[in-house]
Chains A and B, each alone.
Chain A
Amino acid sequence: MQAFTQVTGLTLPLDRANVDTDAIIPKQYLKSIKRSGFGPFLFDDWRYLDAGDLDIDPATRRPNPEFVLNQPRYKGASVLLARENFGCGSSREHAVWALSDYGFRTVIAPSFADIFFNNSFKTGFLPIVLKDEEIDALFVEAQAEGYRLTVDLPEQTVRTPGGKSFRFDIDPFRKDCLVRGLDEIGLTLQRSEAIRAYEARRKQEAPWLFA
């Protein structure tokens, strides 16, 4: 997994609440059996005026100039600023893969849907929760051309170009995995003995589960 320490990047404000995973990556792209290549389809229905599919070259499609992602000033953005309940809906990890593949490394919002939040950490992508008033302030500041935020995971801060700093919380285990880019499955397999011991005990208590 890609490690995450510090990212300074152009910040794209997406001023909508309840952005669902169907909006982040529509269903037709979930037919891909790969983990990569979803970036061109990120926010597909909002981003293009015509319909798309896996076998349609995105370069031939008509971008929606109104949509924030298509505005030239946000080209190369790597920090996404969002509203409450970001990532609600389906469990598709493809939503995180699409954000990452596009070039985003982190999303900052007042709240996230649980599965999206969980999935993010598995891909080296950092979801950050800040307070409502901090998010409101960032949305105002992000109106400025070329606005860049710095996300520092070891320090657990989001720093503005003007020098303001907002602290965020993160589970220590997740932080450690992200900072070091650790493979969680490998870590768990180091506990194989504990898993086997649990199974042996559980077989006595609840044999039907192992029938």
Chain B
Amino acid sequence: MTNPSAASETPSKTLYDKLWQAHVVAEMGDGAALLYIDRHLVHEVTSPQAFDGLRLNGRKPWRLAANLAVADHNVPTTDRSQGIADPISRTQVDALDSNCDEFGITEFRMSDLRQGIVHVIGPEQGATLPGMTVVCGDSHTSTHGAFGALAFGIGTSEVEHALATQTLVQKKSRSMRVTVHGKVAPGITAKDIVLAIIGRIGTAGGNGSTIEFAGEAIAALSMEGRMTVCNMAIEAGARAGIIAVDQTTIDYVKGRPFAPKGENWDKAVAWWNTLHSDAGAKFDSEVLIEAADIKPQVTWGTSPEMVVPVDGRVPDPAKEADATRRQGMERALHYMGLAANTPINEIRIDKVFIGSCTNSRIEDLRAAAKVVGGKRIASNVKLAMVVPGSGLVKQQAEKEGLDRVFLDAGFEWREPGCSMCLGMNADRLSPGERCASTSNRNFEGRQGQGGRTHLVSPAMAAAAAIAGHFVDIRG
């Protein structure tokens, strides 16, 4: 006797299904559930009103040890011995410090070597672990999905909810798999892969979905590369991006301060090794991208989907049939001060920013330094800055002499933080200035009112700094 239904009794699960099911506290009907939150990362911008809410209602954090706080958006990247000059920024950072003191939450203060961008320090400390649910009041929380964790950004009301209850009411999202098939060409980075994906599916392509990134080109990435890819899942509209756990993941986590040790380590690894989509798992949608087709990417407009290869041209709105899209393109070209059909490599830049939660880790700095080595920034480049993702990244880079490479070339070498990714501190573009940036958003005004942002990889940003305009690093 055979049992034809055996396979359907234990249906193949996606990685997302496994992560979801492991965290359901209670089903709430219609696909919604109360989901347990293992790790809550806190920063100064989206938390003060949440702490106020706790005070107002006489509530305390549910589980203190689940929280880790750091100030990153408002911190100065220049000399910190004088504190924060802008009184409004200072108030916000002070509020985080006093809230963490009052409620007993672990915080890396501005003077702590471990301080840095929240999405850099979580993984660096081993506070982000495979199989966790990780939330933070920041959309780029998707970064942590690189570890096979279910990680997503939340608003301030949910920050308060996570603090007070260690849970969130969530609706299960659709599942999408983006498979990057084959190997990328030499010189193609994780940033180029994810920009190419966004170019293909659009900034709303992942709305309502969790994207699993898969395929040979993704598996070949280091953990830092995988973080770059998952970081920008949100720019494809997906709240979360995830990548299966493999030996690369486990090797990265081992020995980090917050990582499990001894018997717990073995037990953890045994579970982590199950964190991949089963063969035959069904996704609601699938996208296939050939790695060999991916070239270095440069955005030309005011949305990350407005992206072309470096050997391409600024597109022509006249060729766009859809009226809303055409108007969007025209508005973007006007804002960006670009003419249709301009070759990308003729676009000259004023500033260069190497940093952000997308590209400020040690491998990013090494890649940029390799391009810069022994050269000088072009005379038309008014400012080129490197902002390491954390104090520890900065320390490592200095140990390797990367700071000298950048300084000798005319770059500024700064203290860690979000910096000119969004310009909440003093680092920002002036109106009309054009920037080659390794960050994640080219929205109008993102890096400063009237500023014009082109998103690129660290190597491409470094090459643009030297040439004064975009160049194909493969050439």
- Residues on A close to B: CB < 8 A? 15-18, 20, 22-23, 26-28, 30-35, 45, 51, 54-55, 83-85, 88-94, 96, 111-115, 118-119, 122-123, 171-173, 184-186, 188-189, 191-192, 194-195, 198-199, 202, 205-211
Cβ–Cβ contact B271 & A206, under 8 A: yes
Q: A22-B446, A188-B34, A208-B265 are in contact. Are A33 and B237 (CB under 8 A)?
A: no
CB distance from B141 to the nearest CB of A (A): 8
Contact of B158 among A23, A118, A199 (CB under 8 A): A118
Give the one of A54, A90, A188 with max B CB within 10 A. Answer: A90
Give the residues in chain B near A115, CB-CB below 8 Å: 139, 152-155, 234, 239
Report the bound CA distance from A171 to B32 in whole Å: 9
Q: List 5 A-B contacts (CB under 8 A).
A: A27-B424, A33-B95, A92-B155, A195-B166, A202-B36
Q: A17-B328, A27-B423, A208-B267 are in contact. Are A34 and B49 (CB under 8 A)?
A: yes
Q: A33-B48, A122-B155 are in contact. Are A195 and B260 (CB under 8 A)?
A: no
Question: What mask results when residues 18 to 36 of chain B are scored 1 for a CB within 8 Å of chain A, else 0?
Answer: 0000000110111010101
Contacts between chains A and B (CB distance < 8 A), count: 195
Give the residues in chain A near B157, CB-CB below 8 Å: 93, 119, 122-123, 184
Report the bound CA distance from A158 to B30 in whole Å: 23
Cβ–Cβ contact A88 & B203, under 8 A: yes
Which residues in window 34-90 of B have CB below 8 A to A? Answer: 34, 36, 38, 45-46, 48-49, 52-53, 57, 59, 62-63, 65, 73-74, 86, 88-89
CB distance from B251 to the nearest CB of A (A): 17
Give the residues in chain B near A91, CB-CB below 8 Å: 46, 137-139, 141, 153-155
Cβ–Cβ contact B444 & A195, under 8 A: no
Q: Smallest CB-CB separation from B325: which chain A residue? A: A17
Report the bound CA distance from A186 to B161 in whole Å: 9
B463 on the A face (CB < 8 A): no
B204 on the A face (CB < 8 A): yes
Give the residues in chain A near B328, CB-CB below 8 Å: 16-18
Q: A115-B153, A185-B160 are in contact. Are A23 and B445 (CB under 8 A)?
A: yes
Cβ–Cβ contact B237 & A88, under 8 A: yes
CB distance from A36 to the nearest CB of B (A): 10
CB distance from B272 to the nearest CB of A (A): 10
